[in-house]
Chains A and B, each alone.
Chain A
Amino acid sequence: MNAVTVNNIIKTYGTKKETVKALDDISFDVKPGELFGIIGPDGAGKTSLFRILTTLLLAEGGTATVDGFDVVKDYKQIRNRVGYMPGKFSLYQDLTVEENLEFFATIFNTSIEANYDLIKDIYIQIEPFKERRAGKLSGGMKQKLALCCALIHRPSVLFLDEPTTGVDAVSRKEFWEMLKGLKKQGITILVSTPYMDEAAMCDRVALMQSGKIMSINTPENIIKEFKKRIWAVRSQEMYRLLTDLKKYSNTESCNSFGEFHHLVLKDEGQGEEPVLNYLKEQQHKNIIIKTTEPNIEDCFMQLMQKN
């Protein structure tokens, strides 16, 4: 049995005059014990999707189940067994770390001791601050506490809505290490994130944009689906290089990717030679051009362009 099933979910907001389709016919499944990522920018519909699956919102169309329970009819059972970390910080700022944890453990009819082994690795990092009020913690520590509170009752499915947004790069990395550790305990985890590089940490990902899923697959397969070759190009004047490449007749797409620009050619037959010549004509110096592996962001942008 799948841990989560989603069938043709449609979610709209707004008045009869102006409806916005936040989710447009979304369907996917998540296997038990999977670390499943929902990757997409703001406005993709991630939060609406999570709220429907955690039974906080009703969809206008379609069905969904969590652990075999229907999100509409069996909402009570789902609320007893899932862990949920919403997008914005949602713990009590004026209670201490320990008080928050105790509160949520009790609400879930359990105690901190009962499932301590599950949260131990995470809690250890914030334990020195256990008497501190939650509002006074840093962003990274707040996330760790929120994760502990979501895990304290040993949920079967964990929903994490943008847990790494607004958190510094070091904490982000640590957070994903923690998730990988949790996976070993057999908990199904659904995570949403706008950071494309985090897709690589998941077992499978769904790329979402404007309420639609553009692709569902393992990160490796998504990259394999990128049929064309990517050339990484660099020169002394990166901005001019970008504009020149965009003007080039054989360019299908060219996007900046930090140190290099990623170039996709319409006709790949002739390789990089013609490009190199063109750039030399444009007086570029120190030109580096080489093939490179596409990453998730390349794939995302290509899929965006297609839609």
Chain B
Amino acid sequence: MKEIVIKADGLTKKFGDFIATNAISFQVEKGEIFGFLGANGAGKTTAMRMLCGLSIPSSGKATVAGFDVYKETEHIKQNIGYMSQKFSLYEDLTVKENIRFYAGIYGMSRTSIKEKMTALLAQLQMTAEENTLVKALPLGWKQKLAFSVAILHEPKIVFLDEPTGGVDPVTRREFWNLIYEAAANGITVFVTTHYMDEAEYCDRVSIMVDGVIEALDTPGNLKTIFNAASMDDVFLQLARGAKRTAD
């Protein structure tokens, strides 16, 4: 029985009368690559916010890395990593400065920062760019760097919000190689994406529609259940019926 790192039970978030996330329940195992899909407005972002300790649920229960999402949000934040397409690194700081900053925020010691930074830069083949301002880097490099920074402090879980948007196909796959490696090292990856082929790389996928999880299974099983040729097909079948298209 593998260790459960995320457990949600009837997790709900209401904004006035509007139920953004409606009693979702699921579990994620350690080292899993869990795809969290859904159309815009389906309630994905709201759900992720609750799991990251950024928003208090209206009702229901959830624990992340063993910590309660109501009372122990600070512990959650210390044990997770986060990266999104919209913001990852400070553009007017250098590569090195960004790494040092985030490592410092997570309380890493000077020696361990130095060690990890050298290893990270070598792995990404960016050792020569350590003093380059992030805004001068191509997008793909930024995203790979942001991911590596997000897991620098070896969190139990890393939350990725559409990390590969707009990135060229080669770099996209390099990014997923990094994700695979992280998962192989025991870091659970919770990722949302609009690329349906990336859904295939996940161990299991959940699809949210109108605030509810309409499907949760391995990609293979989902295709069988929905009689679909691809995850794209599965998604379209589910999302087409969606009533909510609010952003």
Contacts and interface: CB of A to CB of B under 8 A. Distances in A.
B234 to A, nearest CB: 11
Contact of A165 (B165, B196, B199): B165
A259 B200 contact: yes
B40 A139 contact: yes
Contacts of A138: 40-41, 245-247
Interface string A275-307: 000000000000000000000010011001100
Nearest to A196: B169
A41 B184 CA distance: 29
A301 B180 contact: no
Interface in B226-242: 230-232, 235-236, 239-240, 242
Q: Name the prevailing secondary structure of the B interface residues.
A: helix
Size band of the interface chain A makes with B: 20 to 34
A201 to B, nearest CB: 14
Interface hub of A44, A165, A168, A297 (most chain B Cβ within 10 A): A168
Interface residues of B, number: 37
B197 interface: yes
A194 B139 CA distance: 13
Interface string A253-286: 0011111000000000000000000000000000
Interface string B183-196: 01000000000101
A169 B196 contact: yes
Interface of B: 39-41, 138-140, 165-171, 173, 176-177, 180, 184, 194, 196-201, 219, 230-232, 235-236, 239-240, 242, 245-247
Given A42-B139, A165-B166, A258-B230, 17 more contacts: A40-B168, A41-B169, A42-B167, A138-B245, A141-B245, A165-B165, A167-B40, A168-B40, A168-B41, A169-B196, A169-B235, A169-B236, A256-B201, A257-B197, A258-B200, A259-B200, A259-B231
